[in-house]
Structure 1
Amino acid sequence: MKEIMAFIRLNMVNPTKHALAKVGYPSFTCSKAVGRGKRPLAAEAIQVIMENAGSVPADEIGEHLSEGIRLVPRRSFSLIVDDEQVALAVKTIIQVNQTGTPGDGRLFVMPVAEGYNIRTGERQVKELDR
């Protein structure tokens, strides 16, 4: 089994939920997240941060810089699917969220070694024994 984790724009939560449910994945976790992508910082921002031991100074310059490197609100989707279902789930998430502009999001696929039902203690996934 695999975990698919996707970081998407706030306004894409409902379309993503509906698209996943439509193709057979109604179960997922969605949570608030903040972060930033790979867009480079301005050279002067990097210089000031380096001069302050890697942190943004607490003055007017720091306030200005924090706007340039602010963390952007996102939503994090996480779902667990069988190995054979990964391609469909990934394709669905990408189709719904892809606009072709920077900031569309990021998606990761990770192996799941084990899973347990907390209520019953039943083991649900054991990929490593396969």
Structure 2
Amino acid sequence: MLMIQAVVRPEKADLVLAELMSAGFPSVSKLDILGRGKQKGIQIGETFYDQISKKMLIMVIPDEDKDEVVKIIMRYARTGEKGAFGDGKIFVMPVYEAYTISTGKAQL
């Protein structure tokens, strides 16, 4: 199993979620986060914001679904054809164990 953590622009999160659902990946957690990337924040007029609002989408998937899920997130989280700074990041990590709390059963 793999955990996908995708940091996306807030205005792109619902579109990404809808496309994941449509493709058969309904299990996603969505968090409101603050952060900054390489751009180190943003200046609007006289005000500098060093933390920018983003959404984090977290999901656990079978290894064989990784390429499809990453492709969906990339396609629908990207701004324009070529993308732009601040479009986000996708992190892929191994999941060694997962348990359903209500039943206590391990999920493989």
In the superposition, the TM-score normalised over structure 1's length comes to: 0.73
Q: How many residue pairs are counted as aligned between the two chains?
A: 101
Partners of 2:85 and 2:14 in 1: CA distance: 20
Cα offset, 1:101, TM superposition: 1.0
Contact 2:16 2:73 in 1 (8 A): yes
Q: Which has the larger radius of gyration?
A: 1
Equivalent in 110, 116, 124 of residue 93 of structure 2: 110
Structure 1 unaligned regions, length at least 5: 42-63, 126-130
SS at match of 2:66: helix
Q: Which structure shows the bigger proportion of residues in strand conformation?
A: 2
In the superposition, the TM-score normalised over structure 2's length comes to: 0.88
Partners of 1:40 and 1:31 in 2: CA distance: 21
Structure 2 unaligned regions, length at least 5: none
Alignment of 1:30-109 (within 5 A): 30-39=30-39, 67-99=47-79, 100-109=83-92
Cα offset, 1:13, TM superposition: 1.4
**1:81-118 deviation per Cα after TM superposition (whole angstroms, max 9, x unaligned):** 10000000000000001121110001100000100000
Partner of 1:2: 2
Contact 2:13 2:77 in 1 (8 A): no
Runs of 4+ in 1 over 2 A off after TM superposition: none
Q: Identity rate of aligned residues, in percent?
A: 33
Name the CA shift for 1:74/1:15 in 2 (closer, same or farther; >3 Å): same
Q: Which structure shows the bigger proportion of residues in helix conformation?
A: 1
